Chains A and B, each alone.
Chain A
């Protein structure tokens, strides 16, 4: 989706290092989301934010942290406390109400 930029596309880190995944949007959407996807599995919700300066934990928030200082940006930090960080990470946005989610193209993180 051209309105959501996730960078980088591929990211490699050594175990024990924190790493921050970027998600920027120019859709002027209020809500932003982070999902994790493991091979052959569905999407699992990590964190979400419905408004600037506010965010909530999803189902698998342990080992992750986020911030929402600007409407356009919702960076995700994968900390060393995350036991199995290697995965495909997807950022999404949503306008208000029942609007559908819009997804970025994802960042594939590999930790060795």
Chain B
């Protein structure tokens, strides 16, 4: 079973800020949270990763509350080219070791309209 739950789809308009929330109630202490973007017929591409509080890079921000049971990917001022599927992936720690078993959820299809 996937360790994450996301909305199946979201719509937005160009220039708006988009926030996609992911639930991960059973996140392990050592797990990081990673977000990926996938365009049709391509492999997913890394967007951002974080452990707690807030992380920002040139394309997105990631907000993680203190209990780490959810996270929110924020895309500022989206454009048509941001139309894609976005996946939230929680790590694979069991205790202090990686199990290696990385399971994706269904992802969120973001449709940006003009």
**A contact set with B: CB distance below 8 Å:** 1, 31, 33, 35, 41-45, 48-50, 56, 58-59, 88, 90, 92, 94, 96-98, 100-106, 108
- Complex interface: stretch among B19-27, B43-51, B66-74: B43-51
Contact size class for B?
20 to 34
Minimum distance in angstroms from A40 CB to a CB of chain B: 9
Q: A101-B36, A106-B41, A108-B41 are in contact. Are A31 and B100 (CB under 8 A)?
A: yes
Residue in chain A with minimal CB distance to B43: A103
A–B pairs, 17, beta carbons within 8 Å: A42-B87, A42-B106, A43-B87, A43-B104, A48-B100, A48-B102, A59-B103, A96-B98, A98-B91, A100-B34, A100-B36, A101-B36, A101-B44, A102-B46, A103-B44, A103-B45, A108-B41
Minimum distance in angstroms from A94 CB to a CB of chain B: 8
* Interfacial chain A residues near B44, Cβ < 8 Å: 43, 90, 101, 103
Residue in chain A with minimal CB distance to B104: A43
Since A59-B103, A101-B36, A104-B43 are in contact, a sample of 5 more A-B pairs with Cβ atoms closer than 8 Å, ordered by chain A residue number, is: A98-B30, A100-B34, A100-B36, A103-B44, A106-B43
Interface of B is mostly: loop
Q: CA A98 – CA B52 in complex, angstroms?
A: 14
Interface residue from A56, A100, A105 paired with B43 (Cβ < 8 Å): A105
Interface centre among B30, B36, B103 (most CB of A within 10 A): B103
Pair A42/B107 contact, Cβ less than 8 Å: yes
Pair B105/A42 contact, Cβ less than 8 Å: yes
* Interfacial chain A residues near B36, Cβ < 8 Å: 100-101
Residue in chain B with minimal CB distance to A1: B43
Q: CA A29 – CA B84 in complex, angstroms?
A: 27
* Interfacial chain A residues near B105, Cβ < 8 Å: 42
